[in-house]
Structure 1
Amino acid sequence: MVFDKMGTTIIVSQKESSISVFFDNFKEKYETINSDNVIVDLTFFKELKTTQILKFLDISNEHRNSNKSFVLVSDVVSFEDIPEEICLVPTIQEAKDIIEMEEIERDLGL
């Protein structure tokens, strides 16, 4: 598992594993990154299902409730198939943009 920290944001990625192994590793390491904004890069996984994305729902809700951003990145699953509680975008740049907008909203108290 790779953690790439840029300011208050951490990009989490992993290659050469299955999505279930990635998720288990992520859950195990989550406590070490939960004070930052998180981008979970799933672009390595070319065969994702909506049910696999939904495994991140509880962590996403917990993270967002602590006033931090949590964004998943994948262009395999459509964001239209995912509940609103999960932020899913197709590129890392869009994830960074979402976090920037959410930080501005938090700073303004919106």
Structure 2
Amino acid sequence: MKVDQKGNTITIKDTQGDFNSFLTKVTNQYKSYEDHNLIIDLLPNKAVNIDDVKQLLPLSTQHKKAKKSFVIVADAVDYNAVSTKLTVVPTLLEANDIISMEEIERDLGF
């Protein structure tokens, strides 16, 4: 797991290719990330499937209740099968763009 912080956004990258251990680490260390916007980068793990992504729903819901962005980057999933409660995009650039837009919306009171 690799963690990078840029401004108010933290990117957490799965570097081991084992989604379940990655999910456990992110969940256990969540308190240290809860005050930032989060990007969960699953691009290095080509074995990630839609069921794996759906396991991030509780973290996403909790994070969004705190008025912070939670974006998952995965290119090996069917975006039409993803819950509308999850934000999943194919690139890191799109993830950063979504966070920028959501911050503007929050600043405007939406």
Q: Residue 52 in 1 paired to residue 52 in 2?
A: yes
Letter in 1 for 2:55: K
Q: How does 1:22-41 map to 2 (within 5 A)?
A: 22-41=22-41
Q: Determine the structure 2 residue equivalent to 1:61.
A: 61
Mapping of 1:1-110 within 5 angstroms? 1-110=1-110
* Residue segments in structure 1 that go unaligned for 5+ positions in a row: none
CA distance in 2, matches of 1:107, 1:61: 20
Give the number of aligned pairs: 110
What amino acid is the match of 2:24? D
What is the root-mean-square deviation of aligned Cα atoms in Å? 0.8
Deviation at 1:15, TM superposition (A): 1.1
Moved beyond 4 Å, runs of 4+? none
Partner SS, residue 105 of structure 1:
helix
Cα offset, 1:17, TM superposition: 3.7
Q: Secondary structure of 1:35's partner?
A: coil
How far apart, CA to CA, are the structure 1 residues paired with 2:103 and 2:78?
Answer: 25
1 CA distance for matches of 2:17 and 2:76?
17
Shift of 1:79: 1.8
Deviation of 1:87 after TM superposition, in Å, equals 0.2
Taking every aligned residue pair, what percent have the same amino acid on both sides? 35
Output the CA distance in 2 between the equivalents of 1:12 and 1:6. Answer: 12
Q: TM-score, normalised by structure 1?
A: 0.96
2 CA distance for matches of 1:50 and 1:74? 10
Cα shift at 1:16: 2.2
User: What TM-score do the two structures reach when normalised by structure 2?
Assistant: 0.96
